[in-house]
Amino acid sequence: MERLEGYIFTALCSTNFLISCLLFSKVTREQREPYMDEIFHVPQAQKYCHGKFNEWDPMITTLPGLYLASVGIIKPLVWLADLTGKVVCSTAMLRFVNLLFNGGNLYLLYLLTCKLHLREKSKSATRRILSSLSLSTFPVLYFFNFLYYTDAGSTFFILFAYLMALYGCHKASALLGACAVLFRQTNIVWVAFCAGTLLAGQLDEAWRMDHTKKRDERPSQVPLSLVGAKRVMYFLLEFLVSPAQAMVLLAVAWPYAAVAAGFLAFVVLNGGIVVGDRTSHEACLNVPQLFYFLSFTLFFSLPTALCRHRLLRFLQALRRKPLLFLLLAAAGLLLVWNCTHVHKYLLADNRHYTFYVWSRVFRRYPMVRYLLVPAYVFAGWHFLDSLRSRSLFWTLAFLVCVLAATVPQKLLEFRYFIVPYLLYRLHMPLPSLPRLLLELALYSAVNAATLYLFLAKTFLWPGSAHTQRFMW
């Protein structure tokens, strides 16, 4: 049975890669020259291809992981194929590197699905395969497989690092996490998440042992109340200040600590997290970014997560604790009013979808931002309810990392939501086959629409002869 599943998955990977290659060919024919951020990435990669490792474009704000990986992939292929130098590191060849990462992401998503849903091994192999395929076509990620951006490679190394962490290979996980940081500095958050899952596992075990000794009838359950929160806080303090527990944790988690120390040294020596131009990449307390992420997650998880029973549970929770939800809504209104930051790029670049969301909705009708707060509250409840099969401490670790990855970002960019969304979706219970088909249909429809807009609905800026295209 497992062999048959392997054959089916291999055939599906091949079909997916062929379709992606056909789309890649179409995109490259229509947009031959570097586009948007590619005007910085492509020339920099070409310098590396020619061995000019000491030259750097100051407009680039990320570390050179993408360019190093591209040279490491393309150069051996050129030597093996005995190609001429003209083909080396052309725009098309560099973009093709991301298509290879796309194939790797599909395989990693499949391995993660199998690992995270071991207890559901008896369920249909079709569901595991289809779930992996659907996630590999996740619209924002899939679109950037056809351009020379950092997203495909960054996601690949984060997924690989997390897979190694789940298998207990923490040295390999930390090394892969360091590679992910070379693609995008903010990936240090997801390296911390890998370490956090290790800590969560230790906490879960200690919690079970502690409450088994006390003969608690439901040792793994924590009441969602002030009393429950107090119990958890006391337990965490006792665990973290215990020298014995700290030594046991450090003995396993030291590779992540080494990566964190290296990253801290980089920040100190560099004078900040951003390399190159820092004027447009400043951290701030932009709490509504979390609300945008929760809404984004709700929309893309509708086919797999939203159901009548969940809606009924929400209404019951609303009826049982109306004061809590009123307080959450009031806090949301206050945060939207006081902590909303608008990046200058968001209002200046009409090639991104976020420009139209902000200028045509939020800016034109300011009250909409406040009217959406109840929807944000529901999206947050839905997010947590979808993960209720996971342990309390794992959920806390994930929430902390989601906050760290979204809230400091001033610019509203859907690309920043790729990794947290994929991790969220991977940890949900494995959806049924009809729901997976609905999810794949939604993702395919969004991908078709975005690629159509990018290829067919071009426009010109006043005073410029360059063709402009819509994109995420």
pLDDT at site 217: 47
The whole-model pTM stands at 0.93
pLDDT of 1 strictly over 70: no
pLDDT at site 84: 54
Place 216 in a pLDDT band, splitting at 50, 70 and 90.
low
Q: Using CA atoms in the order 274, 280, 286, 292, what is the torsion angle rounded to 10 degrees? A: -100
pLDDT at site 20: 95
pLDDT at site 121: 60
pLDDT at site 282: 77
Of residues 38 and 215, the one with the higher pLDDT is 38
Average pLDDT over residues 397-423: 94
pLDDT at site 123: 62
pLDDT of 301 strictly over 80: yes
3-state secondary structure string across the chain: CHHHHHHHHHHHHHHHHHHHHHHHHHHHHHCCCCCCCHHHHHHHHHHHHCCCCCCCCCCCCCCCHHHHHHHHHHHHHHHHHCCCCCCCCCHHHHHHHHHHHHHHHHHHHHHHHHHHCHHHCCCCHHHHHHHHHHHHCCHHHHHHHHCCCCHHHHHHHHHHHHHHHHCCCHHHHHHHHHHHHHHCHHHHHHHHHHHHHHHHHHHHHHHHHHHHHCCCCCCCCCCCCHHHHHHHHHHHHHHHCCHHHHHHHHHHHHHHHHHHHHHHHHHHHHCCCCCCCCCCCCCCCCCHHHHHHHHHHHHHCHHHHCCHHHHHHHHHHHHHCHHHHHHHHHHHHHHHHHHCCCCHHHHHCCCEHHHHHHHHHHCCCCHHHHHCHHHHHHHHHHHHHHCCCCCHHHHHHHHHHHHHHHCCCCCCCHHHHHHHHHHHHHHCCCCCHHHHHHHHHHHHHHHHHHHHHHHHCCEECCCCCCEECCEC
Of 123-127, 187-191, 389-393, the range with the highest mean pLDDT is 187-191
User: Model confidence over 157-172: pLDDT tens digits?
Assistant: 999 999 999 999 999 9
pLDDT at site 220: 47
* Token output for 431: 């959806």
pLDDT at site 458: 93
User: Of the given ranges (34-38, 79-83, 292-296), which has the lowest mean pLDDT?
Assistant: 79-83
User: Of the given ranges (210-224, 286-300, 403-417), which has the lowest mean pLDDT?
Assistant: 210-224
pLDDT at site 257: 94
Of residues 4 and 441, the one with the higher pLDDT is 441
User: Model confidence over 315-354: pLDDT tens digits?
Assistant: 999 999 999 999 999 999 999 999 999 888 888 889 999 9
User: Model confidence over 18-63: pLDDT tens digits?
Assistant: 999 999 999 999 999 999 999 999 999 999 998 899 999 988 999 9
Average pLDDT over residues 214-242: 61
